Amino acid sequence: MNVLVTGGAGFIGSHLVDALVGRGDSVRVLDNFFSGARENVNPGTMLVEASVTDEDAVRASVEGTEVVFHQAAHRAVLRSVEDPIATDTANVRGTITVLKAALDAGVRRVVYASSSSVYGGAETLPTAETAPTQPRSPYAVSKLAGEHYCRVFAELYGIETVSLRYFNVYGPRQRHDSAYAAVIPLFIDALRNGRAPEVHGDGKQSRDFSYVSDVAAANLAAAGAPAEAISGHVYNVAGGTSNSLLELLDLLGRILDVEPRPVHTDPRAGDVRHTCAETRDASRDLGFECEVGFEEGLRRTVDWFASD
């Protein structure tokens, strides 16, 4: 199958590309290396260095492909709080640019990377896809807007679309050296180097963490599931259990054989208190369930940091 992965040099996108190449697909990668890394690009792909807001580059990249996996985005909540216009440009304009190019090129399906942040602070846990959405950051607003564009394109134009709401993805290749780095690589880097991990707030906030290979597998499942069951729909991608940041630190401390001594700072703007996903719809419609347990995923991630 001929496919395009936008953001294919990024953390999640590169793992997805590896899975696609591994099963024999012909893969194009579109990435401007805003947050992706050249060393992440699988050598078995065709690389187009451009932004998803570049209409000409996107049109050329989607030509002749059957499925587009749209992973490219400005991802960080804090970055979106600091620069909401840049986030909107990349995430909303970028998504509609990809959708329109895919429609015009006769692409069969677009699989869109959304986020659990669209729920805001959900009152019901575990949270199903039918729960009200109440975004609390410009990033979350932009991802929800992308979902609506996917649904509208499916309803108005007939192109197949599927949106996947990722819950706190972690694993190898996730950067710790960014101002907007995620909590797991930050904690691992601090503990490995004898520093006190920084915890925003009391550390009792909890997250439903998803190992990156499971997220890649969810994308493959979404690309192949029957259109009549899934087109225009959204699905949670998560393990279905939650761990607090203090529990995460305790697990990492045991894996690394160190005693975590966190420093607590102010809570971050735009963050939610708890996330936990209801995953029955993905199991029913996509035939997908996460396979990597949280402790096993952390061990794999720690091993990668040790070998990097």
Catalytic residue annotation? 139
Angle between helix axes 245-256 and 294-307 (nearest 10 degrees) is 50
Distance CA 223, CA 228 (A): 13
Question: Which 3-state string (H, E, C) describes 17-57?
Answer: HHHHHHCCCEEEEEECCCCCCHHHCCCCCEEEECCCCCHHH
Name the CA dihedral angle for 278, 207, 230, 98, rounded to a multiple of 10 degrees: 170
Which residues is 60 bridged to in the sheet? none
Tokens of 103: 């429609």
Is beta strand 206-207 parallel, antiparallel or unpaired with respect to 243-244?
antiparallel
DSSP 8-state class, residue 7: T
Secondary structure class of 55 (helix, strand, coil) = helix
The strand pairing partners of 198, in sequence order, are 263
Which residue is it, tokens 């959204």? 234
CB 275 within 8 A of CB 127: yes
Spatial CB neighbours of 79, under 8 Å, sequence gap ≥ 6 = 86, 87, 139, 179, 180
- Spatial neighbors of 178 by CB under 8 A, at least 6 apart, are 35
